[in-house]
Amino acid sequence: MERTTAELMERFNAAFLQHDPTLLDDLIAEDCVIENTVPAPDGARIEGRAACLAWWQQIATAPGMWFDVEAVEVFGDRAILRWRFHWGEGPDNSVRGVNLMRVQGCLIVEAQGYVKGAGQ
């Protein structure tokens, strides 16, 4: 059964909201690439299914950390995920960000992450 990009993003987000890394198992392509939000200024590049899966599983299971999904917009094989990431209570322990996702063959092939930063 083929999944739509919207269905894929729903399941992707559920892995983080439910802290269930098993939901990611069949969502990631062999040639997946993540451009991570850290370290500043350009982030790290993570390549390949195994590395991308391990990275996202680590985030999904991190104790004391959680995501709020703010919006999901889907445009064919692309999606924009807006979120807030928390590592503690209160606004000083969170950051807003966005992932630009690309899907091919019902699998995630690209994720570019960006976060809002403080101005100087």
What pTM did the predictor assign? Answer: 0.91
Positive/negative CA dihedral, 80, 85, 91, 95: negative
Condensed to tens digits (0 to 9), the pLDDT of residues 53-105 reads 999 999 999 999 999 999 999 999 999 999 999 999 988 899 999 999 999 99
Report whether pLDDT(46) > 90. yes
| Among 1, 66, 60, CA closest to 25 | 60
The CATH number of domain 5-115, selected from 2.30.30.30, 3.10.450.50, 3.30.70.100, 3.40.710.10: 3.10.450.50
| Among 100, 106, 92, CA closest to 36 | 100
Residues 6+ positions from 93 with CB-CB distance below 8 Å: 86, 87
